[in-house]
Structure 1
Amino acid sequence: MLCDLPDSTSVALSTGRDKWLYEKEKYNSDVKLLKELRINGYDDYKNYLRMDANTFDDPLHRLEPYLKRKNAVMRDSIPLRFLATGRNYEDLKFNTGISPQALGYIIPETCRVIYEVLKGEFLKFPSTTEEWKQIANGFEQKWQISNCVGAMDGKHIRIWAPPRTGAQYYNYKHSYSIVLMAVVNSNYEFIFVDAGKNGRISDGGVLQYTTFYQYLVEEKLHLPDRYDCRENMNFVFISDEAFALHKHILKPFPQRNLNYEKRIYNYRLSKGRNVVENVFGLITARFRVLHTTINMKPLHIQYVVLAICTLHNYLIQRKNQYIGPITFDSENKQTHQCMKNAEWRQNDVQLCPLQISNRNGQVLDAKENRLEYMKYFTGNGKVTWQDEMLNAGKS
């Protein structure tokens, strides 16, 4: 994104070896390059910014009132590719003509503004029964999961150990991290994100510290009543083994000693969960700062991650080259085999998953709810191809 040098940070420019930074107009190539590409290099412009000019201009105009400074005009602003490349401040100063000290202010502040300004339209959490039903219809039509109002997962974002925090951010993988918790819809969009919980909370228990979970257990999400469903089952969020069962959360059965019904249930659940797996894979591929160990204050890293999630939704909705024919895993329309051929799977770097949880939550309601869905998937909710796929070893 673009941002101007703030008045308070311009004094950080050194008069010693970095004296050339005062003459950034003379040395800076990014501004001239971007202007040239915009006029004469349409395809290269899209490749450089990961979006076309119209897609780039829209959020820019929304953010301009919050980023523009009195002593500068927007044409002098510097396009920062920090999120896309993950290059550190010392490296970026040579392309931007801005000191590392100033970049340390500009980048987190720009990320905060991106999130605050765009979240109302592009990261909107459902607040009505009808909105939840629309999400459920999407999962039903695309992934044959009835009453599903979201697929959720969490990942560790690697960070440098913050000063004077001890083992607070030290996770089960023996590195330092914050946790990104997310719920996505069937269109590969985030509908809820929480970033910033320390990595020491290394299993699905991190969910219990989110506002989403508080609203869930207090019945304040305005989920559709179970009697709105023809099978009278709870509307649910689907997850993996990292999370505890809940009457509104489904997770797979343990892989040991699976009978036919449990294998079918796990297979059907995995089809729906493929959505959130692809979302995390895509943001890791597109925003390569997630490949690095981020060296910022935890609050600043939080805004970096939230900005990434917001921009992801914006780009998904704009349907530009952010997504393409092999962005996500595909499904064979005849056999319904899920082919894990998304381009992001070719990346060597993936975000670290949460640790598997042994917590059972509200045991009685939760287990009964999972059994209801198991019976449904092998009964009234059975699809014609599931036996063939299971027998073929594709579950």
Structure 2
Amino acid sequence: MPLILLSIFRHHTTHDPKVPESRYLATGDSYRTIAFSYRVGHITVAVIVREVAGAIWTALVEETMTEDWRAIAAEFQERWNFPNCVGAIDGKHVVIQAPANYGSLYFNYKSNYSLVLLAIMDAQYLFRVVDVGGFGRSSDGGSLRNSAFGESLRDGSLQLPPDTVIPGAERLGLLPHVLVGDEAFPLLDNLLRPFPGRQLTRKRRLFNYRLSRARLVVECAFGILSSR
């Protein structure tokens, strides 16, 4: 369940213990535990959670997330001197036992089996979007392309703030709000990556430094997660 959805739920609803979907989103209990508590089938609980979560998302995403994106961009500007940035994105391989009957789909470049945890962090190392379950053989860019978030990023349905002028760079006109990632990700209208190569101009080296500095939040967040 994306953390954005959980934050929307917690911000706009109360946790009524009599409602299965409320208990699931508030506590993270398993479907089977909740089914036993409410004397219903776990399949019924799964259907309820999916339908209610979808309704919450549809009703509140535009109202809530646009303001959240603006707040994240302001924090990146203040803490990391990177304007119009709404998050740092990266993928992490989570080692698993080899699943049966899946061939090499989960076999990664480190010669073990894994799932890909794709995550977007804000300027304070907090997880804002999480997608789990990509095949270990997939690159970070491939995991993004195959995720629901990646689809929303491409079709423009993320409710990102409108393009704005960056102070001190008015000559560039209106610029979009973006995510920052490493070389494993594609260059998109709302996703920036470093300039490739070594023989770079001074301006491009400075850009790469600023981008890498902002992107460190996701590396540090994964380090904190692993240490715990």
Q: 1:173 to 1:65 in 2, by over 3 A?
A: closer
**Equivalent residue runs for 1:322-361 within 5 Å:** none
How many Å separate the matches in 1 of 2:136 and 2:158? Answer: 27
Identity of aligned residues (%): 41
Query: Match for residue 39 of structure 1?
Result: none
How many Å separate the matches in 2 of 1:223 and 1:174? Answer: 38
Instruction: Tell me which stretches of 4 or more aligned residues in structure 1 moved more than 4 Å.
Output: 64-70, 124-127, 228-231
Query: Match for residue 157 of structure 1?
Result: 94
How many Å separate the matches in 1 of 2:194 and 2:84? Answer: 16
Q: What is the CA-CA distance between 1:228 and the residue it aligns to?
A: 6.5
Q: 1:64 to 1:158 in 2, by over 3 A?
A: closer
Pick from 166, 173, 186: which aligns with 1:244?
186
How many Å separate the matches in 1 of 2:28 and 2:141? Answer: 39
Alignment of 1:221 with 2:158, yes or no, is yes
User: Partner of 1:224: helix, strand, or coil?
Assistant: coil
How many Å separate the matches in 2 of 1:150 and 1:251? Answer: 13
| Alignment RMSD (CA, Å) | 2.8
How many Å separate the matches in 1 of 2:29 and 2:216? Answer: 39
Alignment of 1:141 with 2:78, yes or no, is yes
How many positions carry a matched residue from both structures?
177
Query: Does the 8 Å CA contact 2:72/2:85 hold for their aligned counterparts?
Result: yes
After superposing the two structures, state which structure 1 stretch, 237-246 or 198-207, moved more.
Answer: 198-207
Query: Match for residue 272 of structure 1?
Result: 214
Scaled by the length of structure 2, the TM-score of the pair is 0.69
Query: Does the 8 Å CA contact 1:125/1:192 hold for their aligned counterparts?
Result: no
Q: What is the CA-CA distance between 1:130 and the residue it aligns to?
A: 1.9
Deviations 1:20-42 (A, max 9, x none): xxxxxxxxxxxxxxxxxxxxxxx
Q: What residue identity is the alignment partner of 1:267?
A: Y
How many Å separate the matches in 1 of 2:114 and 2:29? Answer: 33
Q: 1:63 to 1:212 in 2, by over 3 A?
A: closer
How many Å separate the matches in 2 of 1:150 and 1:169? Answer: 27
Query: Does the 8 Å CA contact 1:189/1:279 hold for their aligned counterparts?
Result: yes
Query: Match for residue 210 of structure 1?
Result: 147
How many Å separate the matches in 1 of 2:120 and 2:127? Answer: 6
Deviations 1:90-123 (A, max 9, x none): xxxxxxxxxxxxxxxxxxxxxxx9xxx9xx9xxx
Query: Does the 8 Å CA contact 2:139/2:184 hold for their aligned counterparts?
Result: no
User: Partner of 1:257: helix, strand, or coil?
Assistant: coil
How many Å separate the matches in 2 of 1:224 and 1:259? Answer: 31
Query: Does the 8 Å CA contact 2:90/2:140 hold for their aligned counterparts?
Result: no
Pick from 177, 193, 211: which aligns with 2:130?
193
User: Partner of 1:205: helix, strand, or coil?
Assistant: helix
Q: What is the CA-CA distance between 1:128 and the residue it aligns to?
A: 3.3
Q: 1:266 to 1:152 in 2, by over 3 A?
A: same
Alignment of 1:129 with 2:72, yes or no, is no
Q: What is the CA-CA distance between 1:193 and the residue it aligns to?
A: 0.4
User: Partner of 2:175: helix, strand, or coil?
Assistant: coil
How many Å separate the matches in 2 of 1:190 and 1:272? Answer: 15
Q: 1:65 to 1:238 in 2, by over 3 A?
A: closer
**Equivalent residue runs for 1:280-319 within 5 Å:** 280-286=222-228
Pick from 198, 210, 213: which aligns with 1:256?
198
How many Å separate the matches in 2 of 1:130 and 1:198? Answer: 33
Where do 5+ consecutive residues of structure 2 fail to align?
1-22, 38-48
How many Å separate the matches in 2 of 1:268 and 1:164? Answer: 44
Query: Does the 8 Å CA contact 1:139/1:148 hold for their aligned counterparts?
Result: yes
How many Å separate the matches in 1 of 2:66 and 2:28? Answer: 35
Query: Match for residue 4 of structure 2?
Result: none
Q: What is the CA-CA distance between 1:65 and the residue it aligns to?
A: 8.2
Q: 1:183 to 1:202 in 2, by over 3 A?
A: same
How many Å separate the matches in 2 of 1:175 and 1:65? Answer: 30
Q: What is the CA-CA distance between 1:242 and the residue it aligns to?
A: 0.8
User: Partner of 1:128: helix, strand, or coil?
Assistant: helix
Query: Does the 8 Å CA contact 1:125/1:191 hold for their aligned counterparts?
Result: no
Q: What is the CA-CA distance between 1:175 and the residue it aligns to?
A: 1.4
